[in-house]
Amino acid sequence: MDGQVRLHVYVAATAVVAAGLVLWALPQVAPLQVLAVVLAVMIAEHFATVMRDKVAVSLTNVVALVAIVIGGPALAVVGALGAIPVYACRSKSPMRVTSTVFNSSMLPVSAAAGGLTYQLLLAQLGGLFPDWRSLLAITAAAAIYSVVNLGLVAGVVSLATGDSFFDAFRTIGPALAMQILYVGIAVLTVVVIDRASLWALLLMAVPALIARYGLRAFQELDEEYERLVSGFVKAIEIKDLYTRGHSERVSQLSVHVAEELGVGYEERRITKYAALLHDVGKVGVPLCIINKPGPLDDDEFAKMQEHPTIGVEILHDIDFLEPAIDIVRYHHERLDGRGYPHGVDEEHLSRLVRIVTAVDAFDAMTSTRSYRRALSVEEAIAELERCSGPQFDAEVVAALTACVRRLDWQPTVDFASEAALHGAEIPNAPVGELRRSRGALPSRRERRADASSARGNGSWGTS
């Protein structure tokens, strides 16, 4: 069955279950209670915080837990319908109807699972709210609500992206603990409703706003990470006239290759950051070497080879970039151990390192530089295939080939800084250039001839 068909079947099945639950619940609820819960759900969803990758997180689960305690699972199921107009207005994707139907359906299903858990445990334990047995029951209800909710989301993400269900669930799993912690807000709300005046409910806005502020602070921190990485990239490209746009292209294509190889979401995210930052060490290489239009001499070449080590020194104290360090450190290494600067072999080179290494070399070959014009995509693929084994991972090269052909990837034919050429013509890549790098580190004579085209790579690669 086609992936899109499976996705639509999954969404339709979720909607059918939700519709059945709503029909079951409607005769059991009081209209005024339903109106109050529907309005509360609408408000909670309207003020949802958009997290990483456009995932919205709201306090709707708190409203559902309050409804479960006050009116049972039926009230929570019907009240969840308040999210429908919000989802319908929020969705801007081409699959707007599918997205709205799924998001609106998973809430009644999650509410029913949490509500029935609460009822069954309370019946078994014999407690009355708010004694410890009822608190245990509502905590279990929150856990089940969150597991079902996130499980349904993981299912649709898995079908939409091709990731395994467990990879998708692990990606969004941290939200589980966060949602369970909201039990406290739900319990306080119920106590206020039960023991105080309705005006006292206004006081519950305080913990709710604190919770929302915490979510927003988390998202702002994530955005700061993105800006930090972008700042590093700009610093590289301001200094290096010859490779503007290179880091972004390597990052974009590396993520596509990782997807082709079935790499999970978190590792793809690491790949994205690491590929953007793989050349950050060039900020420590003298400008006269970085922007030298002609061949590099041996000393200049040796200095250029230091940029992976410099990059590691720049990034090693930034905690969130720690998983990306090995990609920066090893992106000029080879499987046969004849790369630089460490000369490590394939045992030290993770799949993510191998992906960025191959994509880095591919973009170097298919980009116009001051010393030669871009090679065609097919010429670059042929060179990667020729160097598979000693230098590049054959499986990665096959995945890269599939991606560039599927995406109809085009060479970057315009030189990033025409003004730096002072009117000089950019030569075409000589036929021998595709064969000159055979083997590992080239000879001193080859290095002087190839240094400007390899820009610091012992064989194929980029600066």
14, 110 Cβ separation under 8 angstroms: no
277 close to 297: Cβ distance less than 8 angstroms: no
Other CB atoms closer than 10 Å to residue 94's CB: what's the count? Answer: 8
What pLDDT does residue 43 have? 85
What does the pLDDT read at residue 456? 36
Spatial CA neighbour of 114 closest among 86, 152, 169: 152
What CA–CA distance (Å, rounded) separates 191 from 159? Answer: 41
Would you say residue 443 has pLDDT above 80? no
Residue 352 and residue 251 in contact, taking contact as beta carbons nearer than 8 Å? no
- pLDDT tens digits, one per residue of 348-393: 999 999 999 999 999 988 887 655 677 889 989 999 999 998 999 9
Q: Using DSSP bridges, classify how beta strands 49-50 and 56-57 pair: parallel, antiparallel or unpaired.
A: antiparallel
In words, the CATH class of domain 241-454 is mainly alpha
pLDDT at 86 over 60: yes
Spatial distance between the Cα atoms of 134 and 219, rounded to a whole number of angstroms? 34
| 408 backbone dihedrals φ, ψ, rounded to 5° | 55, 50
Point out the least confidently predicted range of 229-238, 247-256, 380-389, 394-403.
229-238
Mean pLDDT over each residue of the chain, to the nearest integer: 78
pLDDT at residue 442 in the model = 37
Least-confidence region, from 41-45, 206-210, 449-453: 449-453
CATH number of the 3-221 domain: 1.10.1760
Percent of the chain with pLDDT over 90: 23
3-state secondary structure string across 392-458: ECHHHHHHHHHHHHHCCCCCECCCCCHHHHCCCCCCCCCHHHHCCCCCCCCCHHHHHHHHHHHCCCC
Over residues 395-430, the pLDDT tens digits come to 999 999 999 998 888 887 665 555 554 445 554 555
User: Which pLDDT value is given to residue 407?
Assistant: 87
How many other CB atoms are found less than 10 A from the CB of residue 185?
Answer: 21
| Model pLDDT for residues 146-171, shown as the tens digit of each residue | 889 888 988 888 888 777 777 777 66
Is residue 377 within 8 Å of 404, Cβ to Cβ? yes
* Three-state secondary structure readout of 181-206: HCHHHHHHHHHHHHHCCHHHHHHHHH
Task: Supply the pLDDT for residue 208.
Answer: 62
Give residue limits of the domains in the chain.
3-221, 241-454
Taking the C-alpha atoms of residue 179 and residue 150, their distance in angstroms, rounded to an integer, is 10
- pLDDT tens for 106-141 read 999 999 999 999 999 988 888 777 788 888 888 889
Distances (CA, A) of 126 to 27, 112, 115, 129: 26, 21, 16, 10
Report the C-alpha gap between 388 and 172 in whole angstroms: 36
Q: Which residue has the higher pLDDT, 97 or 447?
A: 97
Residue 29 DSSP code: S
Strand partners, 372: 369
Contact between 361 and 443 (Cβ < 8 Å)? no
**Exposure string (b/e) for 421-445, b if CB count within 10 Å is 16 or more?**
eeeeebeebeeebbebbeebbbeee
